[in-house]
Structure formats: C-alpha cells, structure tokens
Amino acid sequence: MVQVSSAGQISAPEKISVELTINNIKTELKVAPWTTLLDALREHLDLTGTKKGCDHGQCGACTVLVNDRRINSCMALAVMQDGAKVTTIEGLASNGALHPLQQAFIDHDAFQCGYCTPGQICSAAGLIAEGKAKTADEIREFMSGNICRCAAYPNIVAAIQQAMGAS
Ligand code: FES
Ligand code: FES
C-alpha cells in the first residue's frame, strides 16, 4: 500500500507476499509490487535458466509456463500470479531424464550461444500443449515470438517436429 506522510511525501509501497508453485515446489516470497515474474525467478529465487533479453516482451527469452500456458515473464508482475503454477526450464526434466524437447534440441543442434534456448524450449512446450501447430510453417508462425539471434531456426523447427512426434 502506498504510504503518504503528513508532509505529503509518498513512500515506497511495502513488499507483498506471493505464493507460487514453481517446478512443483510451493514457494512463498515477498516482492515489491512492481517486480516482474522474470525478476522474481532470477533475482529472488536464483532460477537463472530463464533469460532476460529485451525485458520488453519482444524476444521471448523469458518464456515460462504459467498454469501450463506460455507467457513472457518480463511482462507479468509476480503479484498478479499469486497462487499460480509456474514451470521454468529447470522444471522440465523429470527423474533425471531430459524432457523430449531438451533431447530434441541436442539431437538437432538447435542452438549456438544458447541464450534463447530456455525460452525456445518452454515456448515449444506450450506450443505442443496448445495443439494448434501441425506443419513446419505453423511451428514457425506460432514460435515467431521467440527470437534467435544466432538464427538456429531450421534446427529449432526440426527439434520441435521431433518432440511433437514423440509427445
Ligand atoms: Fe521478455 Fe524479451 S525478455 S520478451
Ligand atoms: Fe543464440 Fe538462439 S542460440 S540466440
């Protein structure tokens, strides 16, 4: 809540408690109201697999799954996600086995610097769950929010096609 002193000065709001289930672990944290989900993950919880590229909703490097839907976490306030289930790149593998998309990205050499890769993989997981993309062109269209500055696009599409076949 914004505090206004008798002198009319406005002080910074208090931190707000947020409860999230992140990668199947219930997590409570206190954040300033303007903290994005991306900063909550990276700065408060050390989940640095999710990358900050543009911080303006334009590159997709920060893509995570919230309640199984892909979002740009730089464009979401953490306090707005109270009670949500969040899956980051750190939560995709299970029982020591890579997620089919992680394996497919390795199989198809679908990265160079790797900076966009966590976002690409989380976005592709969302894409597969949506079930809308069937063809390579549709994959390209529905993945167009995820930019790869290394231009590994043909390999990324091939990796997603492999994972779609496996899922
Ligand atoms: Fe979020 Fe670029 S960092 S879209
Ligand atoms: Fe370098 Fe995509 S692998 S930006």
Owner of token pair 């893509």:
63
CA of 36 to the centre of ligand 1 (A): 11
User: Are 125 and 167 within 8 A, CB to CB?
Assistant: no
Cα-to-centroid distance, 116 and ligand 1 (Å): 10
The span from the CA of 29 to the CA of 17, in Å, is 6
Residue length of the chain: 167
B/e letters for 14-26, b = 16+ CB within 10 Å, e = fewer, are: eebebebebbeee
State whether the beta carbon of 151 lies less than 6 angstroms from ligand 2: no
pTM, 2 dp: 0.92
Task: List pocket residues of ligand 1, CB cut-off 6 Å.
Answer: 52-55, 57-62, 72, 74
Task: Decide whether any atom of ligand 2 lies within 6 Å of the 148 Cβ.
Answer: yes
For the CA of 111, the closest atom of ligand 2 is: 3
Q: In which residue ranges of the chain is pLDDT below 70?
A: 1-6, 166-167
Q: By the 8 A CB rule, do 47 and 90 touch?
A: yes
Q: Residues with Cβ < 8 Å from 91, sequence gap 6 or more? A: 22, 23, 24
pLDDT in tens, 27-56: 999 999 999 999 999 999 999 999 999 999
Query: How far is Cα of residue 39 from the mean position of the Cα atoms in its chain?
Result: 11
- The domains located in the chain, with CATH, are 16-91 (3.10.20.30), 100-166 (1.10.150.120)
